[in-house]
Chain A
């Protein structure tokens, strides 16, 4: 193709393309576009760290400044994957430290991050600005101390739900006095103490601080002092919110809160005395996002009093202690709601607190803009799902989780096939779906037929036969991630369309009916897939009997062949 434009012009045009999908598309047009694009690409997203190697990344995108990497499969979140399965970030940092030192941003999810990795980041990238770690583990606050001490231009340190050891607890003091660039600091997941005086000083000197999420060790009196210094905050995660409502501290806090008119997003309350919640009433009207899902023991009536004031809420994460009654209040008060997540408050507590299909129907009726849902409920019915589908055709993410994985329609005792079928039929933009409850192959027929935009599907304890899985593989053209557990899908389904897997990021199957022999033949047939078998028991000993069912299989497309860092219990076939 003749290139009518000089490269500078192309590069300038491409600079308006921010989505990696657009950039990927552009790079396929012709060789010269590919080259212009690759030199100008600043942000790279790698959904599976084993699909490509760091060396190849750097050779294609030498100017990358921002890297996003994801490691373990999603079901690792629920303890279905070994701790040491993989997802080490060190090799990436090592490679970048040699070849690409203008790295500014690193966003990692479900990866193993060692202190050594953090230390290497701290000393290798002089312009490093942003570190976001989600559901990672393997590091301690020593690693954080290294980041704090050395990254002179650090703007963002965002730790979400990581498992972090805290041997010394002094990492916060490691931010030098010269550090004034922090705009976002989230350490809510840390379990240890922090140096409160250092925290206050840090907040005072970082005038650009917009987002601050504290851990439980920050008491209300310190919170009050911090807010007094940082009324410009837009996003606040309160740590401990337990205090005596009669006290001086509480009064000061109330007064200071009133001045925090910029706060749009509120979370935390890791420890809370519900009688102190009125302190935040003044800012409720401004909130677009509220996350009380980490806040134990706030009863429904108190939650409701609070949420009722949040008329502009777009995103709400709560515990199911809110109850159906509470959800009805949400539906009547929060008309602009787009995302709702209702988490199980106590995994051991069956049937007491909980929400049912009624709450969901109420929300769907009251909140027409709802497009993202995660709903842990005690029961569900087809009728309710059909109603929801009709009321809210805009769902992009729909994840339903019944407490009992194979519970049928609570009224008719039938499978929930039709309910989910209605969802996929109505929600033409649906990209992510998790199904649960009693489900037959029928639901997969519907999904295959209707879910044209579906990219991620999670299945557990569902289906009757291979047909179910085949419907999905054949029908969902845009499917990227499929994860299945405890469902009767076997070799026929696995091998029905092997080419499909190269169009997907990954497939997870555990406790299904897939045998060693089938996995081996798949691996032989498709060299550009890594087919990994995870064995946690004594199946490792002796030969693999081809007819034996595989406990856990994870396959993914890759350009770099089998990985070399798998532990003994993971076999790549």
Chain B
């Protein structure tokens, strides 16, 4: 292939991207606190970012950022005094390759990316604007994430369907809040849309409806009986107050399991990740209280 040649002939001197000085995090290693960061090396660094002003601030951040858990065993994160200046052939590189790579360049990145309206170069960790096909996750997984343990018919779609569902996934639809709900003894989970209810009572009756039939079918199967469709099954009551055979609990965004009903509905809706219907007999007899008296 003609054109650009590599290490031999005429090419910019190689960028030793990994410094040979042993200041690296090695498996046996300790943190080397020594700073190689002489000002000379700082100057050599090919930077695309903002000028020196920010530099020292970033250094401090870096140190804090990496050093905290150094006391834990096995491996330690290198605490680097500055972003390593490993581009030793700085001068040559600059000539040969990137005439248009200036600090202003960062702004043009966003121009190039028409699909992403907000340049995130200014924002570090805020929510990115949804982009079609990004992050690159197979539809199969996306369907799992949005809870596809329900019937085949709704899930296996032609591409139009899956396109829609993937676009939905990228648009954070505010119209529904689907959470998965499982019941002890029933292998198949369901989903319930919390936006359709505005109180715990309504939720409780929705749960009853969802599982009543399944529970009846379950007991029919296990006793070998024929599933009788007219038999709607026993109503599931007492979900909220511990008086019934089953109790409704939920898991919040920190993974804790809590009894339903303690906090105002809207607070519940904002923190709930998942619902479960457990046998009341297996709940520890805790008083209902605040979060720190949570269930194990």
Contacts and interface: CB of A to CB of B under 8 A. Distances in A.
Interface of A: 75, 77-80, 82-84, 135, 161, 163-166, 169, 189-192, 216-217, 219-220, 240, 242-244, 246, 270-271, 273, 293-294, 296-297, 299-301, 328, 331-332, 343-348, 350-352, 358, 361-362, 365-366, 368, 376, 378-379, 382-383, 386-387, 389-391, 401, 403-415, 417-418, 421-422, 425-426, 438, 440-442, 445-446, 448-449, 460-461, 463-465, 467, 470-471, 473-475, 477, 485-488, 496-497, 499-500, 511
A415 B187 contact: no
B138 to A, nearest CB: 5
A402 to B, nearest CB: 8
Given A352-B253, A460-B134, A271 B166 contact: no
Given A83-B159, A390-B18, A404 B120 contact: yes
Contacts of B84: 383, 386
Interface in B127-177: 127-128, 131-142, 144-149, 151-152, 155-160, 162-163, 166, 169-170, 172
13 contacts: A191-B152, A220-B187, A243-B187, A244-B185, A301-B255, A350-B127, A376-B135, A405-B116, A405-B135, A441-B98, A464-B109, A486-B114, A487-B112
B100 interface: yes
B17 A216 contact: no
A415 to B, nearest CB: 6
Task: Report, as a range, how many residues of chain B touch the other chain.
Answer: 35 or more
- Interface-central residue, B7, B50, B110, B132, by most chain A CB under 10 Å: B132
Given A79-B133, A365-B25, A383-B62, A449 B14 contact: yes
Given A391-B27, A406-B121, A75 B133 contact: yes
B119 interface: yes
Given A217-B188, A350-B127, A401 B75 contact: no
B223 interface: no
B58 interface: yes
Contact of B105 (A300, A343, A464, A471): A464
A242 B214 CA distance: 15
B282 interface: yes
B182 interface: yes
A406 B109 contact: yes
Provide the main secondary structure of the chain B interface: loop
Interface of B: 1-4, 6-7, 11, 14-18, 24-27, 47-50, 58, 61-62, 65-66, 69, 72-78, 80, 83-84, 86-87, 97-98, 100-101, 105-106, 108-110, 112-116, 119-121, 124-125, 127-128, 131-142, 144-149, 151-152, 155-160, 162-163, 166, 169-170, 172, 180, 182, 184-189, 251, 253, 255, 273-274, 279, 282
Nearest to B134: A405
B242 to A, nearest CB: 17
A426 to B, nearest CB: 6
Given A328-B72, A345-B145, A164 B156 contact: yes
| Top-8 shortest CB links A-B | A83-B159, A404-B128, A365-B75, A299-B255, A219-B187, A474-B4, A78-B133, A488-B112
A358 B97 contact: no
Given A163-B140, A346-B145, A442-B97, A332 B73 contact: yes
A448 B4 contact: yes
Nearest to B27: A365
A425 B20 CA distance: 13
B15 A421 contact: yes
A433 to B, nearest CB: 14
Given A80-B133, A358-B77, A418-B87, A351 B125 contact: yes
Contact of A79 (B15, B72, B145, B162): B162
B188 A216 contact: yes
A415 B156 CA distance: 40
A497 B3 contact: yes
Contact of B255 (A294, A300, A383): A300
Contact of B80 (A244, A383, A471): A383
A541 B121 CA distance: 38
Nearest to A418: B17
